[in-house]
Amino acid sequence: MTATSQPSTTPLHDVHAELGASFTEFAGWSMPVRYSSDLAEHRAVREAAGQFDLSHMGEIEVSGPEAAQAMDYALVGTLSAVAVGRARYTMLCDVDGGVLDDLVVYRLAEERYLVVANAGNAALVFDALRERSEKFDATVTDLSARTALVAVQGPASAAVVAEATGAELDGLRYYASMRATVAGHEVLLARTGYTGEDGFELFVDTGDGPTAAVDTWRRLAEVGASHGLVPAGLACRDTLRLEAGMPLYGNELTPERTPFHANLGRIVKFDKPGDFVGRSALERVGEPDVVLVGLRGEGRRAPRHGYRVLDGDREVGEVTSGALSPTLGYPIAMAYVARDVAEPGTTLSVDVRGRAATVDVVSLPFYKRPSTKG
């Protein structure tokens, strides 16, 4: 986006304006940051349900006889082992092992995958997948411009989505997908999310215009009204994912860090057949000198992105994300710190605008949803 160009708008932009949303520019998109208040929307997702527009995300299809082999080479996971109808969290790394993006990959058929990329990295992921697939009999297609994505998250989300689609959801496991119909439009319905709650994401084809996305949004909102569903913006999505200990690209995940730095080495599969981009570098990582940890603070002053973490007078790390937790009532943060101070229970401090705020290293996530049947 050039200095004079306007941010892109999603197919649901006019709906958000009708709902009184406040907008912000994010990754080149005009997105609703909130509708009422960050706290009210956050609490709705924890206690009932929230409805999000995620149409700024990138959707890329990889298909063909050697799509599985192409995915195994391009990404750090074993995507060839994912069953049709299931999904997997994985990463695109560079040759040095640095994270270029974290992704959710859906296997829609034996020879067809859907890769969901972060908005700011969609073009990069498309170009990388296309380049890395050149040696395989596989086709990479960018579907982002014709795909809307609506999420319903929270303990009441299953009731809302079941009523809106008429689908039986008891058998739909976490990180699985199925075809469903909303307001007469076919959607890809996935039990996935980024909030720490049960939730669903609905991919809507907008190749014929925004009508299908608008109808889907309005039907979910209509059904959800009796379940406590509210529209929710990017601000509460960030505090929700932080409480759930979920990394954000550009904060916890960057090209300067490998999955092992972020305690996500388990997603790197060295036992899969053949080579993959970044393998040699990742095999050499060993135990990183700095690792991602959770920090729990006191009072009301929250550590923020970029704040220094201290062990006495020694600088030992930097905060990547932080906020006053709406659910827990105390400051929380994620930070990269030196391995020798990364043990849960270690007391450190954060330089919060010139004042040392005491924090304790804690295990992630900060919040886990109550166990529910199924």
Task: Render pLDDT for 129-172 as a digit per residue (tens, 0 to 9).
Answer: 999 999 999 999 999 999 999 999 999 999 999 999 999 999 99
Look at 165 and 273; give whichever has higher pLDDT: 165
pLDDT of residue 374: 33
Above 60 in pLDDT, residue 77? yes
Give residue 273's pLDDT: 87
pLDDT at 2 over 60: no
H or E element, residue 157: helix 157-165
Cα–Cα distance list, 245 to 66, 140, 199, 203, 354 (Å): 35, 32, 16, 25, 26
For residue range 64-73, what is the model confidence (pLDDT) as tens digits? 999 999 999 9
Task: Give me the mean pLDDT over the 233-244 stretch.
Answer: 98
The bridge status of strand 229-231 relative to strand 49-53 is parallel
| Mean pLDDT of the chain, nearest integer | 96
State the sign of the Cα–Cα–Cα–Cα dihedral 95, 96, 101, 102. positive
The model's pTM is 0.96
Label residue 314 left, alpha or beta by phi (over 0 means left) and psi (-120 to 50 means alpha): beta
φ/ψ (deg, to 5) at 283 = -65, -20
Question: Which domains, and CATH codes, for the chain?
Answer: 8-56+146-242 (3.30.1360.120), 289-374 (2.40.30.110)
Which residue reads 């330089």 in tokens?
Answer: 351
CA atoms within 13 A on the CB side of 129: 33
